[in-house]
Amino acid sequence: MPTGRGLHAQVLDTLGQRIVDGLLAPGSVLRPEHVADEFGVSRSVVREALRVLQSLGLVEPRQRVGTQVLGIGSWELLAPTVIRWRGASPSYFVQQRELLELRLGVEPVAATLAAGTPGAAPVLDAASDMLDACVREDSRAYLEADVRFHRALLEASGNAVFAHFAGTVEALLRTRTSESRDTITRWTRDAAARHEAVGRALLAGDGAAASAAAAELVRVTRDEFIAEAPSA
């Protein structure tokens, strides 16, 4: 059985996933003694987990009520932990669409700023690794190169806020490993080529071309998710 931090992580992940999945509806009250009994842990472990959930906007202590579950309007939707929970929930496709739409407003601007900078080379290197992963049919290597590509692009912008957003993008990309649709989770040569187009424009110092290529890259991915989303 897990101990220490392992117990804390187990309680945190289970409660967080239940809230995001809707199994614990907004307005529900979490009572530490009941949670402690369910998981067989101490009240201090439960309190620590609840503090983290509160920091993520999922719960809020209410005087004379208890710890109350909050709705999605209060959640820290850009936090990697919340992204991971939503990625394992029925809102997987909704989250992908929402954050891809946000990325459409960020990554083309980052590409404009990164063009011709020393940070352009790592972006193209990561794209080249994606193409190599396609040849080897190595989906894991493709994902890792994809993560490096987007992190390098955002960091090369020189904008500290964009660089911070890289953690959000990485968390979003990593949720795809649980999705079975090959067009989304596995390597594709066309997708790798779109990444390479961004890298080449950056290295050439062509900000307009880099921005257009980055917009096309994210737009195509967004459209794939919209097409693959299950009907309501």
* Residue given tokens 């083309």 in the structure block: 108
* Mean pLDDT calculated for residue range 84-108: 96
SS3 74: helix
**Can you state the angle between helices 160-174 and 80-87, rounded to 10 degrees?**
30
Query: Which DSSP helix (H) or strand (E) runs through 81?
Result: helix 80-87
Q: Return the CATH number of 80-228, one of 1.10.1040.10, 3.30.420.40, 1.20.120.530, 1.10.10.60.
A: 1.20.120.530
Q: Do domains 5-74 and 80-228 have the same CATH topology?
A: no
Q: Does domain 5-74 have CATH number 1.10.10.10?
A: yes
> Is the per-residue pLDDT at 184 higher than 50?
no
**Can you state the angle between helices 207-228 and 189-203, rounded to 10 degrees?**
160
> Is the per-residue pLDDT at 182 higher than 80?
no
What pLDDT shows up at residue 186?
A: 54
pLDDT tens, residue by residue, 114-129: 999 999 999 999 999 9
Name 48's Cβ contacts closer than 8 Å, sequence gap at least 6.
8
What pLDDT shows up at residue 176?
A: 83
% residues pLDDT > 70 (the chain): 93
59-62 and 66-69 strand pairing: antiparallel
* pTM of the predicted model over 0.95: no
Q: How far is CA 232 from CA 66, 73, 155, 165, in A?
A: 35, 21, 37, 30
Closest CA to 137 of 192, 188, 177, 191: 188
What pLDDT shows up at residue 178?
A: 57
What pLDDT shows up at residue 160?
A: 98
Encoded tokens for 62: 């209410």
Domain positions in the chain: 5-74, 80-228
> Is the per-residue pLDDT at 185 higher than 70?
no
> Is the per-residue pLDDT at 188 higher than 90?
no
